[in-house]
Amino acid sequence: MDYVSVKGMHDIYGNEAAGMAYVASILKATAELYAYREIVPPVLEYTEVFSRGTGESSDIVRKEMYTFNDKGDRSVTLRPEFTAGVVRAVVSNKMYATEEMPLKLYYCGPAFRYERPQLGRYRQFNQFGVEEIGQDSARVDAECIIMAMQGLYMLGFKKLSLKINTIGDEETRAKYREALKTYFAGHIDEMCDDCHERLKLNPMRILDCKVERDQKIAEGAPKIKDYLSEASEKRFYETLSILNDLGVEYELDDSLVRGLDYYSEVVFEVHALAKDGTDYGALCGGGHYGGLVKELGGPDLVGVGFAMGLERVYGLMEKDGLLANLDTGIDLYVMPVGENVLNDVFTLTEEVRQLGYSADTPLAALKMGTMFKKAERRGAKFALILGEDELNKGVAQLKNLKTKEQSEISLKDLGEELDKAFDKAYPNEDDDGCGTEEPGKATEAPDPEDPEAGLMKEGCACSDADFGKEEEKGKK
């Protein structure tokens, strides 16, 4: 039998793993910039956390969950999304009583959905997101949206489309559901089997249907804006006005209702297409939730959050060359010349690492040509070459593998010599931790006249990111 990964689940390694880690580090750093703190909830939750009685009519909960009984015969589910688990954690730990309010939490990790695998759609995928819980204000909603946009700008995206809508309060949605029921009842015979079910459970879910014919029918459906209570309408315009004040562009999308039932009031998505038109789907989706904390046994607190699909963000960045300059190489490849120096070179390589430079060495005597090939494949910036002669003299040859310049350095001053050589070759890397070559950093100054730029500033979060390379350099 051939062993393969579970359908829809992919292995992430090499440049993709480095790219995904970079994406996560920039998003985490952006969240920290906005004063969110990390939460790491378990991957597995009791199924009720997601299903909450018959509380969820979403496809995600009804059809896409990996649910099974554990050995104690309790029904458990691999999280299909984070919000319910994070809110469960907030309630279980009474964070609203012990932590600073509002709670500002961010998370990053895998989620699982049993859906048809296709471009940008996996059965195990990674989400980054935030939840802001405990303060009911349009400003909180706006902060969350801005953080999502800013995270993507930090990654170097230039053209994003923020789609926004309101689905109002409970009263609004009750009236709206009735109107949808009446409308879709007249068309249901032409619609997919799932929509038959959706009509019974929650007709708003029909608006999420991805079947083209059904989408056409949904276009003619009543619009929620005609059912909004005054309070919901006011709240929505407050959020929009804050976005206007900050120059954040958005597109009102009255068909946007989001795929989970706990949402209320403002909902939003961020979309982007690759330059060649490739569509990986929404990069990010989120919204406000009114009843979820209470439904999970906590006090009556509202929340707002978004979740971003890291594979989709990575896919777009890769396609548009935003990761082309991501440095996934090592600093030094240390080359032993001859069998006799293997042990000394092994020790020296360890010293180099203690100095804060990433380094590798072949651990066996190899031909020079082979070692240079290995160094190149590992993206080494310099080669440090030592044979018996060098060791006897206490020196090594340091070769810049890009410029091919080579010089002899003294092993006694190894740290200083390396610092000097690296500072000369990569002068920008130590300032704010982000050289101009880093991805995410605009190579030209942002154009204030550019209507697409809004007032959001492109920038670089690398200095705060746990972006391995920069941390390492910090040790020097």
- The stretch among 28-36, 93-101, 138-146, 301-309 that binds ligand ATP (CB under 6 A) is 301-309
Cβ distance to ligand ATP smaller for residue 215 or 400? 215
Among 22, 107, 122, 227, indicate the residue that binds ligand ATP (CB under 6 A).
Answer: 122
- The stretch among 117-125, 173-181, 211-219, 425-433 that binds ligand ATP (CB under 6 A) is 117-125
Residue whose CB is nearest to ligand ATP in the complex, by number? 309
Cβ distance to ligand ATP smaller for residue 236 or 263? 263
With CB under 6 A as the rule, give the number of residues binding ligand ATP. Answer: 19
Hey, what are 117's tokens? 């695998």
| Residue 318 binds ligand ATP (CB under 6 A) | no
The distance of closest approach from Cβ of residue 307 to ligand ATP in the complex, given in angstroms and rounded to an integer, is 4
Residue type, 142: A
What residues are paired with 68 via a beta bridge? Answer: 76
| Residue 113 binds ligand ATP (CB under 6 A) | yes
Residue 265 contacts residue 232 (beta carbons within 8 Å): yes
Q: Which of residues 124-183 bind ligand ATP (CB under 6 A)?
A: 125, 127
Cβ distance to ligand ATP smaller for residue 285 or 362? 285
The distance of closest approach from Cβ of residue 58 to ligand ATP in the complex, given in angstroms and rounded to an integer, is 9
| Residue 19 binds ligand ATP (CB under 6 A) | no
Residue type, 90: V
| Residue 285 binds ligand ATP (CB under 6 A) | yes
CA distance 255 to 223: 7
Cβ distance to ligand ATP smaller for residue 84 or 301? 84
Label residues 428-450 b or e (16+ Cβ within 10 Å = b): ebeeebbbeebbbbbeeebeeee
| Residue 284 binds ligand ATP (CB under 6 A) | yes
Among 312, 381, 399, 469, indicate the residue that binds ligand ATP (CB under 6 A).
Answer: 312
- The stretch among 221-229, 307-315, 391-399, 437-445 that binds ligand ATP (CB under 6 A) is 307-315
| Residue 195 binds ligand ATP (CB under 6 A) | no
CA distance 22 to 16: 10
What residues are paired with 46 via a beta bridge? Answer: 76
How buried is residue 1: exposed, middle or buried, by Cβ count under 10 Å (0-12/13-18/19+)?
A: exposed
Q: Which of residues 70-109 bind ligand ATP (CB under 6 A)?
A: 81
Residue type, 92: S
| Residue 307 binds ligand ATP (CB under 6 A) | yes
| Residue 305 binds ligand ATP (CB under 6 A) | no
Among 305, 309, 315, 440, indicate the residue that binds ligand ATP (CB under 6 A).
Answer: 309
Find where tokens 């083209």 sit: 212
| Residue 329 binds ligand ATP (CB under 6 A) | no
Residue 7 contacts residue 117 (beta carbons within 8 Å): yes
How many other β-carbons are positioned within 10 Å of the β-carbon of residue 52? 17
The distance of closest approach from Cβ of residue 87 to ligand ATP in the complex, given in angstroms and rounded to an integer, is 15
Of 214, 207, 324, the C-alpha closest to 269 is: 207
Q: How far is CA 244 from CA 75, 185, 453, 454, in A?
A: 46, 39, 13, 9
Chain-centre distance for alpha carbon 265: 24
| Residue 259 binds ligand ATP (CB under 6 A) | yes
Cβ distance to ligand ATP smaller for residue 134 or 285? 285
Residue 60 contacts residue 81 (beta carbons within 8 Å): yes
Hey, what are 120's tokens? 């940008």
How many other β-carbons are positioned within 10 Å of the β-carbon of residue 62? 16
Query: What 8-state DSSP symbol labels residue 464?
Result: T
| Residue 10 binds ligand ATP (CB under 6 A) | no
Residues in touch with ligand ATP (CB under 6 A): 81, 113, 115, 120-122, 125, 127, 259, 281-285, 307-309, 311-312
